[in-house]
């Protein structure tokens, strides 16, 4: 069999195996191997490297499309000098993604405009680059999708969808009021991911305001439905507060609370967090881990 015939058969085999990048790189790789008198192993290694790189890039692009990130931010784009209160060492440690190994959660707390969303997106970008399935959503959108799925009989499917990513970013918790059903859906997502997948949560709520936020939602529901609260009975129900406390108190091992400001004082330790009120033992446990 002639060399040309062998070459064409090799190209055909690569096409059948869907090794498109290798097929495209084959002519140049053969010419280089001939000039440099490479061994068979060296030739195959250089050729397969091309395919591995192409497959990795296709997978990264697929993960990025799935993630639905709102911006192309990377950690190199974050200006730490503009936010000196941010613990740069802690952020850099988070960017190693070691917290994904044991399904630890990450919480960014602070008022609007301090960079919580940007840090969360940067973390998601690092997760994608590392090959992890990642998904971004706002708390309001997540709750709305879950509520719609429940009405359409797709609740179990939606729960599986949000349970699947290795990292789930839930942005802007607390920025908009939530109905009881929507908050309950959010709580269910957080609960089912416990010890199975990591959540990066951003919120403008301090830990101590969780109950206040929940009571506000309950009062809104009372106003809308009357004293009976309809089928859900709002009195005494503190679902949104439970969501925040569940994520902050039980499921969190790291708390980047340096973005948080309460009464003009940054919260950096257990005593400061305790002063915010509400669940002092749980808040103390989380804050101490971050020292």
pLDDT attached to residue 218: 41
Q: Which residue has the higher pLDDT, 165 or 50?
A: 165
User: pLDDT exceeding 70 applies to what percent of the chain?
Assistant: 70
Confidence of residue 208 (pLDDT cuts 50, 70, 90): low
pLDDT attached to residue 257: 39
Mean pLDDT of the chain: 74
Helix (H, G, I), strand (E, B) or coil at 140: helix
Answer yes or no: are the C-beta atoms of 267 and 287 closer than 8 Å. Answer: yes
Give residue 144's Cα distance to chain centre.
Answer: 18
Counting DSSP H helices and E strands in the chain, the numbers are 12, 7
**Kind and range of the H or E element at 36?**
helix 20-36
E strand spans, 127-285? 134-138, 167-173, 198-203, 252-256, 261-262, 265-266
pLDDT attached to residue 246: 52
CA proximity to 288, closest of 244, 255, 245, 250: 255
Confidence of residue 14 (pLDDT cuts 50, 70, 90): confident
Question: How does DSSP classify residue 186?
Answer: H
pLDDT digits (tens, 9 = 90+) for 213-251: 444 444 444 444 444 333 343 332 344 445 555 544 433
Q: Per mean pLDDT, which range of 124-128, 231-235, 273-277 is the poorest? A: 273-277
- For residues 281 and 175, give the distance between their C-alpha atoms in angstroms, rounded to a whole number: 26
Answer yes or no: are the C-beta atoms of 50 and 22 closer than 8 Å. Answer: yes
Helix (H, G, I), strand (E, B) or coil at 168: strand
- For residues 40 and 21, give the distance between their C-alpha atoms in angstroms, rounded to a whole number: 19
- For residues 246 and 60, give the distance between their C-alpha atoms in angstroms, rounded to a whole number: 32
CB neighbour class for 197 (10 Å; exposed up to 12, middle 13-18, buried from 19):
buried
Give residue 173's Cα distance to chain centre.
Answer: 14
Is the pTM higher than 0.95?
Answer: no
- For residues 188 and 265, give the distance between their C-alpha atoms in angstroms, rounded to a whole number: 33
Answer yes or no: are the C-beta atoms of 281 and 275 closer than 8 Å. Answer: no
pLDDT at 79 over 60: yes
Mean pLDDT of 67-83: 93
Answer yes or no: are the C-beta atoms of 180 and 153 closer than 8 Å. Answer: no
**Half-sphere exposure in the Cβ direction for 234 (13 Å, CA):** 23
pLDDT attached to residue 271: 31
pLDDT at 280 over 80: no
Confidence of residue 136 (pLDDT cuts 50, 70, 90): very high
Answer yes or no: are the C-beta atoms of 203 and 109 closer than 8 Å. Answer: yes
pLDDT attached to residue 228: 38
* Cα dist from 275 to 76, 86, 217, 268, whole Å: 35, 21, 23, 11
Answer yes or no: are the C-beta atoms of 169 and 200 closer than 8 Å. Answer: yes
CA proximity to 285, closest of 261, 256, 250: 250
Q: Are strands 261-262 and 265-266 parallel, antiparallel or unpaired?
A: antiparallel
pLDDT digits (tens, 9 = 90+) for 21-65: 888 888 888 888 888 888 777 888 888 898 889 999 999 999 999
- For residues 271 and 93, give the distance between their C-alpha atoms in angstroms, rounded to a whole number: 24
pLDDT at 207 over 80: no
Answer yes or no: are the C-beta atoms of 231 and 179 closer than 8 Å. Answer: no
């Amino acid at each position: 069999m002639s060399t040309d015939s062998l070459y064409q058969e090799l190209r055909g085999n690569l096409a059948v195996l869907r090794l498109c990048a290798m097929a495209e790189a084959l002519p140049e790789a053969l010419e280089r191997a001939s000039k440099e008198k490479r061994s068979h192993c060296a030739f195959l290694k250089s050729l397969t490297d091309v395919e591995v790189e192409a497959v990795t890039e296709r997978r990264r692009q697929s993960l990025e499309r799935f993630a639905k990130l709102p911006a192309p931010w990377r950690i190199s784009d974050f200006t730490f000098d503009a936010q000196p209160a941010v613990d740069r060492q802690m952020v850099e440690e988070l960017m190693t993604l070691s917290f994904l190994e044991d399904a630890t959660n990450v919480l960014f707390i602070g008022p609007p405009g301090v960079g919580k969303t940007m840090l969360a997106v940067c973390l998601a970008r690092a997760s994608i680059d590392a090959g992890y399935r990642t998904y971004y959503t706002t708390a309001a959108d997540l709750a709305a999708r879950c509520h719609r799925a429940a009405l359409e009989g797709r609740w179990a499917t939606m729960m599986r969808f949000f349970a699947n990513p290795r990292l789930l970013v839930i942005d802007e918790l607390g920025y908009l009021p939530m109905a009881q059903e929507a908050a309950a859906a959010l709580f269910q997502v957080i609960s089912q991911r416990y010890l199975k997948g990591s959540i990066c949560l951003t919120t403008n709520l301090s830990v101590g305001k969780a109950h206040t936020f929940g009571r506000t939602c309950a009062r809104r529901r009372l106003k809308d439905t009357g004293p009976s609260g309809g089928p859900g009975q709002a009195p005494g129900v503190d679902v949104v507060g439970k969501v925040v406390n569940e994520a902050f108190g039980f499921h969190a091992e790291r708390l980047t609370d340096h973005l948080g400001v309460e009464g003009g004082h940054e919260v950096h330790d257990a005593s400061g967090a305790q002063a915010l009120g509400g669940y002092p033992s749980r808040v103390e446990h989380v804050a101490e881990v971050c020292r």
